[in-house]
Structure 1
Amino acid sequence: MRNFIKASIIIFLTFSFCLYNPYSIDAFGWGYKKNTDHQVPEIGEYKNLLEKYGAYYVDDSGAKTIYITFDNGYEQGFTEEILDVLKRESVPATFFVTGHYVKSEPELIKRMVDDGHIIGNHSYHHPDFTILTKDAIQKELETLEAAVAEVSDQKDIKFLRPPRGVFNENTLQWANELGLVHIFWSLAFIDWKVSEQKGSEYAFDQIMAQMHPGAIVLLHAVSSDNAEALERIIQELKKQGYTFKSLDDLLIKKLLPNGLYN
Structure 2
Amino acid sequence: MRKYIVVTPIIAFLTFFMVLMQPADSGAYGWGFKKNTDHQIPDIGEYKEILKEYGAYYVDDSGEKNIYLTFDNGYEAGYTDEILDVLKQEDVPATFFVTGHYVDSEPDLIARMVDEGHIIGNHSYHHPDFTIISEESMQEELETLEEAVANVSEQKDIKYLRPPKGVFNERTLNWANELGYIHVFWSLAFVDWEEQKGWEYAYDQLMNQIHPGAIMLLHTVSSDNAESLEHIIVELKEQGYTFKSLDDFVLKDKMPEGIHGF
Tell me, yes or no, if the aligned pair for 1:187 and 1:216 is still in contact at 8 Å: yes
Structure with max Cα Rg: 1
Residue correspondence of structure 1 range 143-162 to structure 2 within 5 A? 143-162=144-163
Please tell me the residue identity of whatever aligns with 1:228: E
Number of residue pairs the alignment of both structures matches? 240
1:125 alignment partner, SS class: coil
Partner of 1:35: 36
Q: TM-score, normalization: structure 2? A: 0.89
Deviations 1:147-205 (A, max 9, x none): 00000000000000000000011110100110000000000000012xx1111000000
Question: Post-superposition shift, 1:60?
Answer: 0.7
Identify unmatched segments of 5+ residues in structure 1: 1-18
1:252 maps to which residue? Answer: 251
Structure 2: gaps spanning 5 or more residues: 1-19
**Mapped contact 2:73–2:98 kept (Cα < 8 A):** yes
Give the aligned partner of residue 62 of structure 2.
61
1:236 is paired with a residue whose SS is: helix
Segments ≥4 residues shifted beyond 4 Å = none
Secondary structure of 1:66's counterpart equals strand
Equivalent runs, 1:1-262 vs 2, <5 Å: 26-193=27-194, 196-256=195-255, 257=257, 260-261=260-261
The answer on whether the counterparts of 2:107 and 2:152 sit within 8 Å (CA) in structure 1 is yes
Q: TM-score, normalised by structure 1?
A: 0.89
Distance 2:98 2:50 in 1: 25
Partner deviation per Cα, 1:100-151 (whole Å, 9 max, x = no partner)? 0000000000000000000000000000000011100000000000000000
Q: Find the aligned partners of 1:28 and 1:51 in 2 and give their Cα distance.
A: 16
Once the 2 structures are TM-superposed, how far is the Cα of residue 255 of structure 1 from its aligned partner? Answer: 2.4
Determine the C-alpha separation between the residues in 2 that align with 1:261 and 1:215. 22
SS class of match (1:71): strand
For residue 5 of structure 1, what is the aligned residue in structure 2? none
Please state whether the residue corresponding to 1:170 is helix, strand or coil.
helix
Structure 1 counterpart of 2:199, which letter? S
